[in-house]
Amino acid sequence: MSEIYFDNAATTRTKREVLETFLRLSEDCFANASSNHAMGSRALHLLERARAQIALSFHVLPQECIFTSGATEGNNLAIKGVSGHCRSWGRRLITTKAEHPSVLEVFRQCEKEGFEVVYIDYDKEGNLDFDQLEKALDSKTSLVSVMAVNNEIGTVFDLRRVFSLVSKSRAKLHVDATQAVGKEDLSSLCYDLLTFSGHKIGGIKGTGLLIKKKNVQLDSQILGGGQENGFRSGTSPVPLDCSLATALRLSLSSQKERRRKAKALNDFLRKELSLLSEVTILSPLSASPFILSFALLEHKGSIVSEALSQRGIYVSTRSACSSREEGYSYVVRNAGYDLRTAQNAIRLSFCGEEGIEEGEEFMRQLKEILATTNKER
């Protein structure tokens, strides 16, 4: 049996066509897009064509798209950029307790710099505490940051309702859409800023985008030659940026079919896992079909995931990008589960190209491991 990769929320396999775009442009169009000669102009033309293609997919203007190295950079730029720009009047910032560290750590830094940050609660079903949000939003709030889809349990937050509240205030709404692009229908999503990473959608690591609507003002964090409209200086990585446009095109054109397949696999695994008495399913029914998180009550999640790995099955026990070794998932804990559940959570995440056979093989191997591994209590 070949390997089973159920860790697509951490990263995805790079698509061949994406690599081909990168390779072709690296060889044929390597000039600096800021250079004042015909070859530089060609590179600039390709860069702007890629930007225009991406803009069209999001129904935004090309000048609203800022190429970044990924969601971490985009999140940093959005949060530091807006909070810094509005510092004279905006002392309060709002986010949720479910955010990725690339958002939470930036807000912690903001707190050290004197901002007041309000962290909104959510429940097991993925409902945000809208009373808290409504009370927190005051005339001194400059930014609200809420993720579209949680990376650990797949909860889909009600951004329509968030935006309707935020838009009544002076604050801007930033959405970390890293786990939503290429998976959720974002066509009617309202926001002021949005970030995502290329490598979660079949793109190359080191690519990403920040959409900043034209009514939003933010301070640049990287100064220099003024590329990306002055918001991100540095020689434009044209082959990488163009490869992001290819990745996005492929991801969006296959989204419906991948979503259907991911849902079929998710439904199958959810049903099978529910039959095991020691399993608690953590992803609510309304969660993204691309993520299925569960906890083991009698076995250690890390030991089971290690045993799966030895059998060529790759899953995740906590957010792969979390560098803090807390030993439990704060996302699961903050949803209202006990520490033990949060310590033993396992996340399966799909790209939507997997078949049910892979789910069947996963269940066979998991059952074998649970039957042969010592119980924790």
Residue 86 CA to residue 306 CA, distance in Å, equals 47
- Beta carbon nearer to ligand PMP, 259 or 299: 259
**Amino acid at position 351, single letter:** C
Q: Does 348 bind ligand PMP (CB under 6 A)?
A: no
Closest distance to ligand PMP from the beta carbon of 232 (Å): 14
Residue 171 tokens read as: 């604050």
Q: Does 96 bind ligand PMP (CB under 6 A)?
A: no
- Beta carbon nearer to ligand PMP, 82 or 175: 175
Closest distance to ligand PMP from the beta carbon of 237 (Å): 15
Pick the piece of the chain touching ligand PMP (CB under 6 A) from 175-183, 223-231, 337-345, 346-354. Answer: 175-183
The DSSP bridge pattern shows strands 208-212 and 65-68 to be: antiparallel
- Beta carbon nearer to ligand PMP, 151 or 365: 151
Closest distance to ligand PMP from the beta carbon of 149 (Å): 7
Residue 293 tokens read as: 């998180």
Site string for ligand PMP, 178-217 (x = CB under 6 A): xx-----------------x-x------------------
Residue 172 CA to residue 82 CA, distance in Å, equals 8
Q: Which residue has the tokens 């600039």?
A: 44
Pick the piece of the chain touching ligand PMP (CB under 6 A) from 134-142, 174-182, 253-261, 330-338. Answer: 174-182
With CB under 6 A as the contact rule, the residue among 151, 254, 266, 288 that binds ligand PMP is 151
351 among known catalytic residues: no
Helix (H, G, I), strand (E, B) or coil at 245: helix
Site string for ligand PMP, 288-327 (x = CB under 6 A): -------------------------------x-x------
Closest distance to ligand PMP from the beta carbon of 71 (Å): 3
- Beta carbon nearer to ligand PMP, 155 or 319: 319
Site string for ligand PMP, 98-117 (x = CB under 6 A): --x-x---------------
The residues in 47-76 that bind ligand PMP, with binding defined as CB under 6 A, are 70-72
Yes or no: say if 215 and 233 are a contact pair by the CB < 8 Å rule.
no
Distance of CA 196 to the CA centre of its chain: 6
Helix axes 301-310, 356-372, angle to 10 degrees: 120
For residue 300, what are the CA distances in angstroms to 56, 75, 77, 115, 228?
46, 33, 38, 39, 47
In DSSP notation, 46-82 reads HHHHHHHHHHHHHTS-GGGEEEESSHHHHHHHHHHHH
Residue 171 CA to residue 118 CA, distance in Å, equals 14
Query: Who contacts 20 (Cβ-Cβ below 8 Å, separation ≥6)?
Result: none
Closest distance to ligand PMP from the beta carbon of 94 (Å): 17
Residue 9 CA to residue 150 CA, distance in Å, equals 10
Active site residues: 321
Binding site residues, ligand PMP, CB under 6 A: 70-72, 100, 102, 147, 151, 176, 178-179, 197, 199, 319, 321
